[in-house]
Amino acid sequence: MKLVILAGGLGTRLSEETKKVPKPMVKIGKIPIIQHIINYYLKFQITDIIVCGGYKKEILKKYFKENPNIKVVDTGKNTQSGSRLLKIKKYLRNEKNFFMTYGDGLSNIDIKRLYNFHIKHSKIATLSAVRPLPRFGHLTIKKNKVIKFKEKDILSEGWINGGFFVLNKKVFNFINHPDNCIFEREPLVKLSNKKELMAYKHSNFWHPMDTLRDKNYLNELYRKKEAPWV
C-alpha cells in the first residue's frame, strides 16, 4: 500500500519557520517533521510514499531526491487539500486502498490496527479520531460566580479528526474541484451522510505542529527522549 502525505500548505500560523522552509520541513530535533512521520510508517512496512508538495516544493524535492521510494509531486501552491489528493490520482490507479496523512502531525497510532479496522468495516474512508491536548481549564459560571472549576483533562475534550486516514479509491468520486476542494469539508461531509466514513478512536498520543508553541513542545519531548512516536 501507498502513503500519501499532504505537504503543500503555506503554514501561516508557523510563519517564524515557514518563511524559509515548507512546514513539513520544520525540524523536530535534527530532522524535519515529515521525516519523523515517514519513519513511523516505515515501522509498519509502508515504504511507497507520495508527497503532495506545493509551497516551497523544491526544498522537499531536494531533500528526498536520493530516495527512490518517495515521490514529491507538485500539486500547486494554493491548492486545497482535497484537490491535492485529486492531482495525484494517477499514481494510485493500482491501489484499492491507501493511507493518507498530514505533513505536520505526530502520533503513536497503531497503523496496522487502523488498516484492519478499515478493512473490517468495508467503508470508503476511515479517519483517526483523537482527543486534543487541552490547553485551558473549564469553568462553570452561574450569576458571575464560578461554581465549578475543572483543570485540564484530556478526557473532557471532544473527538476531532486527527488525520491518519485509510481511503478506498472510490474516495475520488467525492472530490469535485481541481483546485478548491477542501477534503475536510464537502468530501468528508458527503461520506458521512452516506454512512461511508468510519472513525478509528485513538486515545493515546497525538499532537499537531500548528504553532511555534506546538513545535517547542514536540522538540522538548524529543530532547527528553519521551517522544511516543519514536
pLDDT at 148 over 60: no
Chain-centroid distance of CA 87 in Å reads 18
Residue 216's identity, in one-letter code, is N
Q: What letters, b where the CB count within 10 A reaches 16 and e where it falls short, cover 54-91?
A: bbbbebbbebbeeeeebbbbebbeebbbbbbbbbbeee
Helix (H) or strand (E) holding 161: strand 160-161
- Nearest Cα neighbor of 121 from 38, 40, 201, 225 is 201
Whole-number pLDDT of residue 13 = 86
Predicted local confidence at residue 145, as pLDDT: 56
Quickly name the fold that domain 2-223 has: Spore Coat Polysaccharide Biosynthesis Protein SpsA; Chain A (3.90.550)
| Partners of 48 in beta bridges | 2
- Which H/E stretch holds residue 34? helix 33-42
Determine what percent of the chain is predicted with pLDDT higher than 70: 90
The pLDDT value recorded for residue 176 is 87
- Regarding pTM above 0.85, the answer is yes
* Lowest mean pLDDT segment, chosen from 69-78, 114-123, 140-149: 140-149
Mean predicted confidence (pLDDT) in 122-134 = 90
**Is the pLDDT at 141 greater than 70, yes or no?**
no
The reported pLDDT for the residue numbered 158 is 79
- Using CA atoms in the order 126, 127, 131, 134, what is the torsion angle rounded to 10 degrees? -170
